[in-house]
Structure 1
Amino acid sequence: MIYIYNDYAGTHSTAIAAAYHLNKLPTGRTLTKEEILDIDYFNKLTNHDMGRIIFHGVDEDENSVYTLGRKNDKLVVPALKNLGEILQEAFQGDEKIVLSNTSPTVPFAMTMGGLFSRRLKIDFIGVPLLVLGAKQCYSDIIQLVEYTKQIGHSAKTRVVIIENKGFT
């Protein structure tokens, strides 16, 4: 199976989701500032990385985990679904692809932190807001990843889109 966590920038909630999915983060407690800032790709991507599918690793079940920053483009995920179906049909593939939207977990502090840090390059305001936001949404991201894995295992279609609207 291939998991692709996606959101606007692909560098905050998606990076946390991928790290949790790959068992790189502890559960049962709030993350420390250091743990948050040490997450692979957390607050490190730029506009040039938008639209790039980034590999994070392979989970305990040999599933590949990726992230994607899609900006506001609502057509990216449906296009990826269609491309996945085309490739699976053309090459008789049976690898399930799960596209999971992490945007519903993003709190206001993380949105503003991303704006200040990534867009305006004002890290002394943005980074503390990102850390605060990551602490606020971590339990929601854990639930989202668990839900994503569950849907991935139970879905009957080869390409699955999960909007995760229930995480708002």
Structure 2
Amino acid sequence: MIFIYNDYGGTHTTSMAAAYHLKKLPTSRTLTKDEILNIDYFNKLNHSDMGKIIFHGVDTEGNSVYTIGRKSSKLVVPALKNLSLLLQEKYQIHEKIVFSNTSPTVPFAMTMGGFLSRELKIDFIGVPLLVVGAKQCCHNILELVEHTKQIGKSTNSKVIVLENKRFK
């Protein structure tokens, strides 16, 4: 199975989701500032990275975990879904693909911190706000990851798109 976590920038909640999925973060408590800032790709992607599918690793069950920043385009995930279905059919690929939207977990502090840090390059204000936001949403992201994994295991569809509206 292939898991692809997606959101606007692909560098905050998606990176956290990938890290939780790969068991790189503690799950029994709120994350520390250092744990958050040391997550692979957390607050490190730029405009040139948007639309790139970034590999984060293989989970304990042999599933590949990726992330993508889609900006405000509502067409990226449907296009990737259609491409995935086309490739699966044409080349008889039987790998299930799960797209999971992490946007519903994003708190206001993370939105503002991401804008200030990534867009305006004002890290001394943006990064502390990102840390506050990450601490606020880490439990929701963990819940989203567990939900994503469960749906991946229990659904027979070849390509699954999870909007995750219930995690707001």
TM-score by shorter chain over 0.5: yes
What SS does structure 2 have at the residue aligned with 1:39?
coil
Q: CA deviation at 1:28?
A: 1.0
Counterpart residue number, 1:58? 58
Distance 1:68 1:152 in 2: 18
Is 1:17 aligned to residue 17 of structure 2?
A: yes
Residue deviations 1:37-78 (CA, integer Å, cap 9, x gap): 000000000000000000000000000000000000000000
What SS does structure 2 have at the residue aligned with 1:160?
strand
What SS does structure 1 have at the residue aligned with 2:57?
strand
% of aligned pairs identical? Answer: 72
Distance 1:41 1:57 in 2: 13
Counterpart residue number, 1:31? 31
Counterpart residue number, 2:67? 67
Is 1:136 aligned to residue 109 of structure 2?
A: no
Counterpart residue number, 2:78? 78
TM-score after normalising by structure 2: 1.00
Distance 2:10 2:89 in 1: 28
Distance 1:166 1:124 in 2: 33
Residue deviations 1:122-158 (CA, integer Å, cap 9, x gap): 0000000000000000000000000000000111110
Structure 2 gap segments, 5+ residues each = none
Structure 1 gap segments, 5+ residues each = none
Distance 1:74 1:23 in 2: 30
Counterpart residue number, 1:110? 110
Distance 1:91 1:155 in 2: 22
Q: CA deviation at 1:18?
A: 0.1
What is the alpha-carbon root mean square deviation over aligned residues? 0.3
Residue deviations 1:23-43 (CA, integer Å, cap 9, x gap): 000011111100000000000
Q: How many residues align?
A: 168
Distance 2:15 2:154 in 1: 24
Q: Which amino acid aligns with 1:55?
A: F
Distance 1:111 1:65 in 2: 24
Q: CA deviation at 1:114?
A: 0.2
Q: Which amino acid aligns with 1:149?
A: K
Counterpart residue number, 1:126? 126
